[in-house]
Structure 1
Amino acid sequence: MSANRLARAKPLGQYLAALNNPSAASAGRRRFVGSTAVRKSIAGNGQEHHHQHRKASTWSVSGVAGVAMTAGLLGWGLSELRHGGFPGAVLFDSGFSTPRYASMREMEQALKEIRQEIGEGEDIISTDPDDLHAHGYSEWSTTNPKGLPVAVAYPRSTEQVSMIARICHKYRVPVIPYSGGSSLEGNFSAPFGGISVDFAYMDRIVQFNKNDMDVVVQPSIGWQDLNEQLAKMGSGLFFPIDPGPSAKIGGMIGTNCSGTNAVKYGTMKDWVINLTVVLADGTVIKTRRRPRKSSAGYNLNGLFVGSEGTLGLVTEATLKLTVIPEEFSVAVVTFPSIRDAASAAAEVMQTGIPVAAMEIMDEVQMKVVNMGGATAPRVWKELPTLFFKFSGTKAGVKENISLVQAITKSNRGSNFEFAKDAREQKLLWSARKESLWSMLALRKEGEEVWSTDVAVPFSRLADIIEVSKKEMDDLGLFASILGHIGDGNFHESIIYNRRDKAERDKVETCVKNMVKRALEMEGTCTGEHSIGWGKKESLLWEVGPDTLGVMKAIKAALDPNWIMNPGKIFDRTD
C-alpha cells in the first residue's frame, strides 16, 4: 500500500461516524474474464507484466441506454419500479429503509464522471453486450437471477477502485466485484444492474517477503499462477489453498474457499494476514499490519473474508506462504459402497493421521471422468473411490501411508494404487480436479449442472452421504457425490433439463433436503461455495433471524446505501 493511500485510510470508527452523518459523507470449459482470456507473465517481484485483452468499448449515453433497456430493465430498473414496498428487517428495523438504486439518468451520469476522472488517455469502461452477459450470467452457477450489469469497469489500481466506489456511492449505483467468475451460487450476478468491477488487470505480485514467508498480491492473480511464479523464483514456498483451477485470490477471499488441501492446511481465512479494502463510499482501509499474529482490536479479516464483496472490495491481500514438503505421494483406493468409503475417511480423521488431502468420488463421478476423457488414456474403476495425498518427510509419509492402509482395509477398501512418479501423481489427482469439467462436458442441449455443497461433523459423514445418494437415485437423477471429505465437506452435482419444470423441482427438492439434513446434523448449508444468491433461504434456516439481523446491522453500518453486491447472502427485506 503506497504512502498516500495509507494517509487516506481511516480508522473504522471514524468511517462509521462519517456514514452516520449525511452532511459529512462524501458524496467453454474454463471461462475467463468477459468474452476474452486475460493472461499475463510476471517475472519476479512485481515487475512489468503484459496483458492481451480487447480494449474496452467506448461508452456513450446512447450505448448504455440501449443495453440497459434490454439487459438492465429486469435488474436495477426493477428496483426502481418496486422501491416502495419493502418491509423492515427482523432486527434493527429503523436501520433498514427502502433501498433506492440509480435511475437511468443517474447511471449515465455516474459512468460519465468515472470516465472524466480517469481522463482521456485510458478507457476502463465497457458496455460490450458480450462483456455484460459474461459478468451477469454463469453457466456454472446453480442460480442466475434476471438482470445484467449495465457496464463493466476494469480498474488498474486501488485508487481507481476507490474512485469508482465513491461515484457509485454518490449515485447509489450497485457495485459487483468480479475476479475468476467461477462461483457456483450466483455470487457475481447483477439482479439490480449496476457496474461489475472486474479486477482482470489487477493480477500482480506486489511484494514478496521470502524471509517472512508471505506475499502481497492483487485480487485477480490465480492461486496456480501465484505458485508458478513462486516456483520460478526458486523460493521453496507455496500457497496451499487449492480450489478450482481457474479461481482467483479475490474470489477465494470472498467465499472463504477451501480446496483439496484443506484437511492439512485449513481454509482461506487461515492464510490471510491483512487486506486492503475499498469501502462503499470509496474509503480505503487496511485491516492489519504484517505480523502473523495480532490482538489489536476487532478481527476485520474475519469480517471481510467470506463476505462476498457485500462489505467492500479487496484490492490487495497479504497471504501466508508455507514450505514445500520434502516428499509427496498420491494414492487411490476403491470401496464396494459409498458408506464404506465415508466411514474410512471419518476414521482417518478421528485417528489423527496427518494426511495432506483426502477426497471422495462416488461410482457415478468415476464413470463421468471416464466418459469425459479428461484423464485419458487412463480408465478408472467405476466404484466409490478415496483419493489420498501424503506429504512431509520421507519417514513421515511412509508411516502415514501404512496407518491409512490399515484403516481402509478394515473398511473393505481395495489395495492402494500409488503414483509411480510426479507425472502420474498429477494424472491421479487430476481425476478429482477435473470432476466438474467432466460433468459439464456431458451436458446435452438445454441441460445444466446443479452443483452445491454442505458440511457436517465427521461422525455424520457416512450417514448424510448415504441417505443423500439414495434420494438422488430414487428420484431418477443423474447425479454424483464428491468432495473434500477430510473436512466434512461434500458436493452433489446433478445434471438436469432446465426446461423441464418437473425435473427442476425434483432437483430443488433434493438439494433442500440435503441442506436440511446437514443442519439437523449440526452442519452447515455450505462448506465453501458460500451463500451468494442461491442459498439465502438456507442461511436463514442455519443461523436464525436474530443472527441474520446482526449480519444486516454490520452491512447497514458499512454500506448504508446497500450498493455493495446487493442481493447476495441476504436481502434487505428478509
Structure 2
Amino acid sequence: MTETHPPFSTTASAPPMRQPRRPSAATLAALLADLTPLLGDRITTAPGILEQHGHDESWHHPAAPDAVCFPHSTQEVSRVIRACSHHNIAVIPYGVGTSIEGQIIAERGGLCVDLSRMNAIVEVRAEDLDATVQPGVTRTQLNHHLRATGLFFSVDPGADASMGGMASTRASGTNTVRYGTMRENVLSLTVVMADGRIVQTGGRARKSAAGYDLTHLMIGAEGTLGIITELTVKLHGLPEAISSATVAFDDVAGAVNTVIASIQCGLPLARIELLDALAMKAVNQYSRLTHGEKPTLFLEFHGTHAGVREQAKAFAELCQDFGGSDFAWATLEEDRQTLWQARHDAAYAAKQLRPGMEFWATDICVPISRLAECIAATQLDVQATGLTAPLLGHVGDGNFHLVVIFDRDNQDELETLAAFNQRLVARALAAGGTCTGEHGVGIGKREYMASEHGDGWEVMRSIKQALDPQGIMNPGKLV
C-alpha cells in the first residue's frame, strides 16, 4: 500500500474557542450554595467521589472535577446547567465511566453530572419496536427487561455502557454489520442545552423531513452541545435461529479477504470479528479457551433455521477459497455467550500479555475494499516498532483496533507508540477512512479532526460556538 500521510493540521488561523477556567473556591462555593437546596446530599465534593469521576478506562492522565452531582430528572439537569451557566463553570456528563478516549476527564475542573441514577425504562412499545429510556439505563439492563417481549436492543460495545454514553459517543460493536450503530438505532432524544433549555429532537416516526436533524447532531457530540436525558431507541425481533462459529486461517490476509468476499457477495452476516494470533493467545489465557493461536474469525448468523444453514454453508465455501479451516460451531446459548464474552473481554485479556502495564486502544475504520492492505501495512509497522499490539477488528464494517500494551514510565516506548498511532491514523485517512470508528474523539483524537474534516471542522466549531457560547459543555473535547 502506498502511504501518503497528510499533515495533521490544527488550523492555527482559527480563533480559540471560549472555555471556562477551573473555578475558584468562591465560585465553587456559590455554585454549591445554589444547588444544595435542590439536590441535598446528591451534590458532593468528597475526594473519593471526585477521584472516581476523574478518569475513564483510557490511558489518558486523569483529572478530577471540583464537584459531582446525581440528578434524578430532566428538570433537575436543566436547573443544574442553568446554575453552571450563571457561574461559568464547566459541565461534564458521566454515565458509567467506560469511555476510552478521555471523554469524561475534567481538564478544566467543573461539575460532573453523573446520570447513573436516571436509569428508568420509561416505556416499551413492542408493537412499534421501540422503547424510551433514561440515559443511565445500561444496554444489558434494557435487554434483560426485554426478555419476555421477543425483542432486543442490538448495539453492543464490549463494556456494559450506559445508553446516554453510547449515544454521546456514537457507539457500535459486534452487531453493527447487520443492525447498525447508535446513529441508526436512535429515533429521538431529550436534550438539555447549554442554557438549560429542554429540547425534544424528534418523534417516534421512522422517518421525517422536518427541518435540521437535531437527533443525529447530538449523537456523537460527546456532551459538548448538551446533555442527553432521555432516548427513544429502535428494537429488533429476536431471530428464530442463531448460530455462532470460529474459523482459523494461516494468515490475517486470508481471514480479511474472506470477510471482504462475504460482504461483497451480500452474505447477511450478523457478526464477523477478527482476532490475530497474538490476540487469540491472550483470549485463550484470559478466558480459559483452547482455540488455536492463529488468525481467527468469530462470526454469527441470524435468521430462520433454513436461512442460517444456507448462510453457514455459503460462508464455509468462501473460507475454503481463502485457506480457512478448523470450524468450531456454537449453537447452544451458553456456548455462544462464552464465545462472545471472550471477544468482548479481549482488550482486558491483552493486558495479561504484559502484567502491570497499561493499554492504548487504537480505533481506525476504512472502506471495506481497503481493509486488507491497511491491516497488512499496519502489521508490518507493528513488527518494525517491536510493540506488543494484538489486533482485534469489527472487520465486517472496516473497523479494527490494536490493543497496544505499554509501559507509561518508559519514555522511549511512549514516543514510539505515539508516532505509530499517528502513522496509523494517517494511513486510515489516506485510504478514505476515519481516525475513530467507534470510540469517539474526546481528548485522544481531537488533534486529527482538522485533517479528517478540513473546512467541515470549522463548521463544527461554529455549531459549538452557536449552541454553547460560554464553552461550558464538556470543554476541550472533540473541538
> How is 1:279-290 mapped onto 2 (pairs within 5 angstroms)?
279-290=193-204
1:501-551 per-position Cα deviation (integer Å, ceiling 9, x unaligned): 00011111111111100000001000000111011111121112x211110
Secondary structure of the equivalent of 1:319? Answer: strand
User: Higher mean Cα deviation, 122-131 or 307-316?
Assistant: 122-131
- 1:142 corresponds to 2:91: no
User: Higher mean Cα deviation, 409-418 or 297-306?
Assistant: 409-418
- Name 2:29's counterpart in structure 1: 108
CA distance in structure 2 between the partners assigned to 1:161 and 1:439 by the alignment:
39
CA distance in structure 1 between the partners assigned to 2:297 and 2:361 by the alignment:
20
- 1:126 corresponds to 2:52: no
Decide whether the 8 Å contact of 1:472 with 1:479 is kept in 2.
Answer: yes
- 1:423 corresponds to 2:344: no
> How is 1:395-406 mapped onto 2 (pairs within 5 angstroms)?
395-406=306-317
The AA in structure 2 aligned to 1:451 is A
1:295-329 per-position Cα deviation (integer Å, ceiling 9, x unaligned): 11110011000000000000000011111110000
Secondary structure of the equivalent of 2:222? Answer: coil
- Name 1:527's counterpart in structure 2: 437
Match of 2:251 among 337, 346, 354: 337
- Name 2:462's counterpart in structure 1: 553
1:95-127 per-position Cα deviation (integer Å, ceiling 9, x unaligned): 956755643311210121011233xxx421122
- 1:393 corresponds to 2:304: yes
Decide whether the 8 Å contact of 1:360 with 1:485 is kept in 2.
Answer: yes
CA distance in structure 1 between the partners assigned to 2:478 and 2:177 by the alignment:
26
- 1:356 corresponds to 2:274: no
CA distance in structure 2 between the partners assigned to 1:269 and 1:488 by the alignment:
17
1:325-353 per-position Cα deviation (integer Å, ceiling 9, x unaligned): 10000000001111111111111111111
CA distance in structure 1 between the partners assigned to 2:36 and 2:352 by the alignment:
41
Decide whether the 8 Å contact of 2:19 with 2:472 is kept in 1.
Answer: no
Compared CA separation, residues 487 and 97, structure 1 to 2 (3 A): closer
The AA in structure 2 aligned to 1:549 is E
1:437-466 per-position Cα deviation (integer Å, ceiling 9, x unaligned): 212344533x21001200001111111111
CA deviation after TM superposition for structure 1 residue 358, in Å: 0.4
Question: Percent of pairs identical after alignment?
Answer: 41
The AA in structure 1 aligned to 2:441 is I
- Name 1:230's counterpart in structure 2: 146
CA distance in structure 2 between the partners assigned to 1:360 and 1:350 by the alignment:
17
- Name 1:28's counterpart in structure 2: none
CA deviation after TM superposition for structure 1 residue 369, in Å: 1.1
The AA in structure 1 aligned to 2:370 is R
Decide whether the 8 Å contact of 2:188 with 2:203 is kept in 1.
Answer: yes
The AA in structure 1 aligned to 2:328 is E
CA deviation after TM superposition for structure 1 residue 418, in Å: 0.4
CA distance in structure 2 between the partners assigned to 1:98 and 1:444 by the alignment:
39
> How is 1:452-531 mapped onto 2 (pairs within 5 angstroms)?
452-531=362-441
Query: Which sections of structure 1, spanning at least 5 residues, go unmatched?
Result: 1-86
User: Higher mean Cα deviation, 363-372 or 300-309?
Assistant: 363-372
- Name 2:87's counterpart in structure 1: 171
Match of 2:128 among 212, 219, 233: 212
CA deviation after TM superposition for structure 1 residue 141, in Å: 0.5
Decide whether the 8 Å contact of 1:88 with 1:96 is kept in 2.
Answer: no
- Name 1:35's counterpart in structure 2: none
CA distance in structure 2 between the partners assigned to 1:211 and 1:406 by the alignment:
39
CA distance in structure 1 between the partners assigned to 2:96 and 2:37 by the alignment:
28
- 1:160 corresponds to 2:70: no
Query: Which sections of structure 2, spanning at least 5 residues, go unmatched?
Result: 1-9
CA deviation after TM superposition for structure 1 residue 289, in Å: 1.5
Decide whether the 8 Å contact of 1:255 with 1:529 is kept in 2.
Answer: yes
- Name 1:537's counterpart in structure 2: 447
Decide whether the 8 Å contact of 1:101 with 1:172 is kept in 2.
Answer: no
CA distance in structure 1 between the partners assigned to 2:86 and 2:160 by the alignment:
34
CA distance in structure 2 between the partners assigned to 1:341 and 1:99 by the alignment:
49
CA distance in structure 2 between the partners assigned to 1:528 and 1:212 by the alignment:
28
The AA in structure 1 aligned to 2:361 is S
The AA in structure 2 aligned to 1:224 is T
Decide whether the 8 Å contact of 1:89 with 1:549 is kept in 2.
Answer: no
User: Higher mean Cα deviation, 464-473 or 173-182?
Assistant: 464-473
Decide whether the 8 Å contact of 2:19 with 2:476 is kept in 1.
Answer: no
- 1:291 corresponds to 2:200: no
CA distance in structure 1 between the partners assigned to 2:336 and 2:203 by the alignment:
38
User: Higher mean Cα deviation, 123-132 or 402-411?
Assistant: 123-132
Secondary structure of the equivalent of 1:491? Answer: strand
1:390-444 per-position Cα deviation (integer Å, ceiling 9, x unaligned): 0011111111111111111101111421014221111222221110121234453
CA distance in structure 2 between the partners assigned to 1:109 and 1:99 by the alignment:
16
Decide whether the 8 Å contact of 1:88 with 1:97 is kept in 2.
Answer: no
Secondary structure of the equivalent of 1:479? Answer: coil
CA distance in structure 2 between the partners assigned to 1:423 and 1:444 by the alignment:
30
The AA in structure 1 aligned to 2:51 is H
CA deviation after TM superposition for structure 1 residue 88, in Å: 9.9
Secondary structure of the equivalent of 1:513? Answer: helix
The AA in structure 2 aligned to 1:434 is D
The AA in structure 1 aligned to 2:310 is E
Secondary structure of the equivalent of 1:116? Answer: helix
Secondary structure of the equivalent of 2:472? Answer: coil
- Name 1:382's counterpart in structure 2: 293
TM-score scaled by length of structure 1? 0.80
- 1:433 corresponds to 2:347: no
The AA in structure 2 aligned to 1:141 is S
- 1:563 corresponds to 2:472: yes
The AA in structure 2 aligned to 1:485 is V
CA distance in structure 2 between the partners assigned to 1:132 and 1:98 by the alignment:
21
Secondary structure of the equivalent of 2:146? Answer: helix
The AA in structure 2 aligned to 1:541 is S
CA distance in structure 2 between the partners assigned to 1:98 and 1:480 by the alignment:
38
CA distance in structure 2 between the partners assigned to 1:380 and 1:415 by the alignment:
9
TM-score scaled by length of structure 2? 0.95
The AA in structure 1 aligned to 2:477 is K
- Name 2:109's counterpart in structure 1: 193
User: Higher mean Cα deviation, 215-224 or 127-136?
Assistant: 127-136
CA deviation after TM superposition for structure 1 residue 261, in Å: 0.2
CA distance in structure 1 between the partners assigned to 2:18 and 2:230 by the alignment:
32
- Name 1:12's counterpart in structure 2: none
CA deviation after TM superposition for structure 1 residue 370, in Å: 1.8
Decide whether the 8 Å contact of 1:224 with 1:245 is kept in 2.
Answer: no
CA distance in structure 1 between the partners assigned to 2:364 and 2:29 by the alignment:
42
Q: How many residues align?
A: 470
